[in-house]
A and B are shown apart, each in its own frame.
Chain A
Amino acid sequence: MKQLMLGNEAVARGLYEAGVKFVSSYPGTPSTEITEEVAKYQEIYAEWAPNEKVAFEAAMGAAVGGGRAFCGMKHVGLNVAADPLFVAGYTGISAGFVIGVADDPGMHSSQNEQDSRHYAEAAKLPMVEPANAAECVAYVKEAYRLSEMFDTPVILRMTTRASHSRSVVELGEREETEIKAYEKLPQKYIMMPANAKKRHFVVEEHLAALRDFAETSDLNTVEDNGGEVGIITAGNAYNYAKEVFGKNASYLKLGMVFPLPEKKIAEFAAKYETVIVVEELDPFIENFCKSHGIHVIGKDVLPLCGEYSDELLAKLLLGEDPDCTMLGDEIPNRPPVLCPGCPHRGVFYTLSKLKLRVSGDIGCYTLGAVAPLNAIDSVFCMGASISSLHGTVKVRGEEDKYVSVIGDSTFMHSGMTGLANVVYNGGNTTTLILDNSITGMTGHQDNPLTGRTLKGTTAPNLSLEAICTALGVAPEHIRAVDPNNLPELEKILKEETAAPCASVIICRRPCALLKGVKRGKPVMINEDKCVGCRACMKIGCPCISIVDKKAKIDASMCAGCGLCPQMCRVGAICEQE
């Protein structure tokens, strides 16, 4: 049967067909749907872990324990999981273990543009990279075969376009796998120096064998169309090259991006006058070629930064400049915004009003940084809001001026240790935990605070208050507030930023897009009362605009959150009749 599948959905299908038993992941765009889709297969146990390191270790434990296992994450998630990643090559596995990592060229939804292929080389693990949904299925299955053949974890590299493009997949059957018999192998699985020293040699032996394998593997294919131009490429970049050059070039498509096949590349390159390496982000293949004396064109013509497209290749390699129609008008940008009814809006409005400096974090609430709220001073990476603020305040003092803001899921991911550090080292910063009862930005995934698992079963509902108490915050300085109650929020913020100790304010209100969350009645402007003062515009709600010097509310978008009536000093905002 044929099906039009998202790349991530096809990875999940591959996991199903490969007889995978165990999946543990942390959500992150563009990787999230792999795990959401895999959870739909009854035959596979699947879970959300609190962070990527935990997910990786859980999956590694499953693979060492004898069942085929997978963990999925975005590129920055692999940074979090890097510690076990580097040791997993040493121990190897019992049953197959594949790590799915999705890079985000163009930073559609990320804080940086890193190239995960470097991890494969650094951790000495084989890496495969599919170019379409059908290859996602096939490469996942091949990755498990390789993993067990070479006793090593295998990394599956995805990119945003590969993850979020749909193409046609022919569905196959699941090949059921058995849980392998348990064997106690301390020299393989206890990575203390005496054992690890021996295992390093094993890693190098495996790598040498993998290099030989890459020379003949069907993952690396040559399409010889004659001509003078040869293109070496991998993953989705192949699609762009093929779109632009068609049969006017020959291709070496590398399905295995680490280790690379030196002989195969050299033989291919020798046949063509001009050899171009087409790869997004870093010159990974290009540098390999150059280090082996193979002359190629690459980043001297094509960009290091940003996402590629066929248009970009046609322009830079062939000088194409297509005709098009353009309006003379300036088209205003449309940046993403906090949704109507978003429980974060009142928080950032109040922080902005009190002129507090805000150490922000990763999630929907990063959007508190944009106009007109402009409420955030810094955002680095998951969990850094609390830990980095601690350092800032230690050098500057001025603790009353700063707060850190972190979401519930991000707090569970890597905020807890930062808070422990604040308490332990006598910091007195205020942490706002925005508890919207879900992992929001990635599209509503459950986490240890939501009381539900990925499989939809009920889970123990961890308490933020209890966690913060256990981390050493004084219970009287752990305050919960409905962030849409602006006067109460402001009062608590003033009190806790003035407190001479670490404090936590839990802003608790579910995401407005969450199923089952009741919308309030839409509100409207009483034009007779509206004086056009624009006070309601300060909250940056996409429903409110000024038309003919009076505020106007788009009733079809309004979620009835009750925030804007609190802004109006003349009582011009009321419920729709």
Chain B
Amino acid sequence: MIKNIMIVGVGGQGSLLASKILGKAAMDAGYDVKVSEVHGMSQRGGSVVTYVRYGDEPVYSPMIGTGKADVILSFEILEAARWLPCLAIGGVVVTSLQQINPMPVITGAAEYPAELVEKMRALAVDVRAYDVQSIAREAGNEKASNVALMGIAEDALGFDEAVLRGAIEACVPAKALDVNLKAFDMARELAKK
């Protein structure tokens, strides 16, 4: 069994930390794991995709292709829609409701498509969309949105809660840890409802 998770968003939203946490969780759970990150120019507000693959057999490719992702973890709705073709049939999209206009929309050269969550659901995609920014803000800092999203996605990611929590504790800088754990717990509660 190999599990394929994609983390998508906009450069600067914290996808590197998220992939670090998931990679650490997979390793601590005893799996082989590969994580592929994006550094450099795309980090400057561009579309950013990170791959996390883990399993109980050796993981070779660091990438996830069309129709292969079990989970798409998305920090921004348009990015979830952009990478939707990578989702496996029957896969899960867990997304923040945040919208960030890309430059072609800002300049008026393109329009931000409307009702993306509804349209994805109309295609029978399991979309779990939450306002994780508000959760993080309530927990104390909007920057914890990425960890809040992991709380929402917990059951889809396939880790025990303790393993995921341990990985968050190991990867999040000490001074931001309390806020992140709070956001994680609040998101988990919300997802259970």
Per-residue CB contact flags for chain A residues 222-244 toward chain B (1 = under 8 Å, else 0) read: 00000000000000101110110
Within 8 A of A (CB), among B1-51: 10-12, 19-20, 23-24, 27, 32-47
Measured in the bound complex, the distance between the Cα atoms of B107 and A364 in whole Å is 20
Q: B41 near A441 (CB under 8 angstroms)?
A: yes
7 A-B pairs closest in CB distance: A311-B65, A109-B40, A29-B40, A322-B67, A336-B46, A332-B110, A334-B102
Within 8 A of A (CB), among B105-132: 105-113, 116, 119-120, 123-125
- Chain A residues near B (Cβ < 8 Å): 2, 4, 6, 29-30, 32-33, 108-109, 132, 161, 164-168, 236, 238-240, 242-243, 309-312, 314, 322-339, 364, 366-367, 370-372, 441-443, 537, 540, 542, 544-546, 554, 556-557
Q: Which residues of B contact A108 (CB under 8 A)?
A: 38, 40-42
B103 to A: closest C-beta gap in Å? 5
Measured in the bound complex, the distance between the Cα atoms of B104 and A67 in whole Å is 53
B95 to A: closest C-beta gap in Å? 13
Q: Which residues of A contact B23 (CB under 8 A)?
A: 4, 166
Q: Which residues of B contact A443 (CB under 8 A)?
A: 39-40, 43
Q: Does B186 contact A (CB under 8 A)?
A: no
> Can you pick out 22 interface pairs between chain A and chain B where the beta carbons lie within 8 Å of each other?
A6-B37, A32-B39, A166-B36, A239-B60, A242-B60, A324-B87, A325-B85, A325-B120, A327-B123, A332-B102, A333-B110, A334-B46, A336-B43, A339-B12, A339-B45, A371-B103, A442-B40, A540-B103, A540-B107, A545-B106, A554-B100, A557-B100
Measured in the bound complex, the distance between the Cα atoms of B43 and A442 in whole Å is 10
Q: B41 near A109 (CB under 8 angstroms)?
A: yes
Q: A325 near B107 (CB under 8 angstroms)?
A: no
Measured in the bound complex, the distance between the Cα atoms of B123 and A242 in whole Å is 33
Output the nearest chain A residue to B115 by Cβ-Cβ distance.
A329
Q: A29 near B106 (CB under 8 angstroms)?
A: no
Q: A33 near B63 (CB under 8 angstroms)?
A: no
Output the nearest chain B residue to A246 by Cβ-Cβ distance.
B60
- Chain B residues near A (Cβ < 8 Å): 10-12, 19-20, 23-24, 27, 32-47, 59-63, 65-68, 78-79, 81-82, 84-87, 89, 100-113, 116, 119-120, 123-125, 133, 142
Q: B12 near A30 (CB under 8 angstroms)?
A: no
Measured in the bound complex, the distance between the Cα atoms of B42 and A371 in whole Å is 16
A103 to B: closest C-beta gap in Å? 13
Which of B27, B36, B42, B84 contacts A327, CB < 8 Å? Answer: B84
B37 to A: closest C-beta gap in Å? 5
Q: Which residues of B contact A335 (CB under 8 A)?
A: 46, 102-104
Q: A337 near B109 (CB under 8 angstroms)?
A: no
Q: Which residues of B contact A557 (CB under 8 A)?
A: 100
Measured in the bound complex, the distance between the Cα atoms of B35 and A556 in whole Å is 29
